[in-house]
Amino acid sequence: MNAIFTVIFIASAAAMLFVAPNELLPTLIGGAESAAKMALTLFCIYAVWMGLSRVAEKSGLTRKAAKGLKPIAKRLFKTENEAALENLAMNLSCNLLGIGGAATPFAVKAIGELERDRNEFAQKLLFVINATSIQLLPTTVIALRAAAGSGAAADIFLPSLICTCVSTGLGVLLFVLSRKIKKPRKKAAK
Amino acid sequence: MIYVIPAIFLVVFVFAAIKRVKLYSEFSQGVKEAVEFTVSLIPCLAAIFMMCAVFEKSGLSDALTKALAPVFGGLGIPPELTKLVLIKPFSGSGSLTYLNAIIAEHGADSYIARCACVCYGSSETVFYISAVYFAGIKVKRLAVPIAAVLVATFASTVVACLLCRIM
């Protein structure tokens, strides 16, 4: 992230010198302003879902709901940490249901739990799975198309499903492969 | 589908009430976690949004779009989608604006708009997610996972454009 930030920021600021030098400051402030607005929007989403997930957790419902996905999560993420597994399972099920707002808090909790075991592999794998999107039903775009007067708003369901599987599958594959390639190299260096 | 969300809330609340969970206290405790969580995100959000704003305003993002359009075209991605594909990893709201513009311009049932919708729906705001997930964590070397995600997302975009042609 540091490298990306450095490259993009310096290149953009340099280009600004030629395009509109006096607009750099207002642009930056505008960026911060949209971040503040975004934070407010996000807070509203998280307030609802984290409130609900706390209630679900305290009533023991999370534990019950996570039971089905736990064995899969255990093998996938290579962890025995019960609290992490519960959050991982909840994150996966929220993603599949298409409630991304609810999925994020679970992911962050799971990453916090995994940090205790220093399980970097599972943390990164969770990121890859979430960042490649594993939504089964693209609710937002279907609603958008319906609003724009589409004749068959949901006909993108199948292509979307295939694409989301392709991206997640390929992402996980690339990530796992990259670790396999890296390991022998490190040993050789030693 | 419209019943899923209300059903989730009802099931959780009724179940919790039966289990004698103090609903109000626990719910507001959850909201408190949300406050702390959101506040912890603000530094990363602000930095990334500032970067995106300058990137856009400086014209670099447009220049990159123009430069990459022929390459994308060779892979079967229509030039109208270049901007959307490039912006999506950085900004959800920004790419949503483009998606809306594409739908308005080409019509919801056009090939371009369907392509755009599939691309939008099957990808995520990668950089934002990486900032949120790893905000409080010391994990380093995120370049490899981020690269894996970006390559996978791009490949699925190519597949999306292909699929929309035949489906």
Which of A66-75, A130-139, A172-181 holds the top average pLDDT?
A172-181
Residue A175 belongs to a domain: yes
Choose among A8, A34, A53: nearest Cβ to B30: A53
For the stretch A66-106, pLDDT in tens is 888 888 888 888 888 888 998 898 898 888 777 777 888 88
Q: Per-residue pLDDT for B95 more than 50?
A: yes
Query: How many angstroms separate the CA of residue A92 from the nearest CA in chain B?
Result: 15
Residue A9 belongs to a domain: no
Beta carbons of A3 and B139 less than 8 Å apart: no
Residue A67 belongs to a domain: yes
For the stretch A8-42, pLDDT in tens is 899 999 999 988 889 999 999 999 998 898 889 88
Query: How many angstroms separate the CA of residue A81 from the nearest CA in chain B?
Result: 17
Structure-block tokens of residue B103: 């739908």
Residue A26 belongs to a domain: no
Q: How many domains is chain A built from?
A: 1
Residue partners of A7: CB distance under 8 A and separation at least 6: none
Structure-block tokens of residue A55: 């209630």
* Cα–Cα separations (whole angstroms), residue A121 to A13, A129, A175: 35, 12, 10
Residue A90 belongs to a domain: yes
Residue A104 belongs to a domain: yes
Nearest one of A73, A121, A114 to A93, comparing CA atoms: A73
Question: A139 is in which domain, residue-wise?
Answer: 40-189
Q: What is the CA radius of gyration of chain B?
A: 20
Q: Per-residue pLDDT for A190 more than 60?
A: no
Choose among A1, A107, A163: nearest Cβ to B163: A163
Interface test with A, best of B33, B54, B146 (most A CBs within 10 A): B54
Residue A1 belongs to a domain: no
Over residues B17-31, mean pLDDT: 94
DSSP letter string, chain B = -TTHHHHHHHHHHHHHHHTT--HHHHHHHHHHHHHHHHHHHHHHHHHHHHHHHHHHHTTHHHHHHHHHHHHHHHTT--GGGHHHHHHTTT-HHHHHHHHHHHHHHH-TTSHHHHHHHHHHHT---HHHHHHHHTTT------HHHHHHHHHHHHHHHHHHHHHHHH-
In this prediction, residue B1 has a pLDDT band, given cuts at 50, 70 and 90, of low
* Angle of helix B143-166 versus helix A120-131 axis, rounded to 10: 30
Beta carbons of A31 and B27 less than 8 Å apart: no
Beta carbons of A148 and B30 less than 8 Å apart: no
Beta carbons of B37 and A55 less than 8 Å apart: no
Asked whether B159 and A163 are in contact (CB, 8 A), the reply is yes
Over residues A139-162, mean pLDDT: 84
pLDDT at A125: 93
Helix (H, G, I), strand (E, B) or coil at A36: helix
* Cα–Cα separations (whole angstroms), residue B43 to A183, B33, B50, B132: 34, 17, 11, 10
Longest dimension (CA), chain B: 62
Amino acid identity for residue B87 in this structure: I
Residue A62 belongs to a domain: yes
Asked whether A127 and B134 are in contact (CB, 8 A), the reply is yes
Q: Read off the pTM.
A: 0.82
Query: Cα separation of A7 and B83, whole Å?
Result: 20
Residue partners of B40: CB distance under 8 A and separation at least 6: B135, B136
Query: Cα separation of A129 and B38, whole Å?
Result: 22
Tell whether B90 is within 8 A of chain A (Cβ). Answer: no
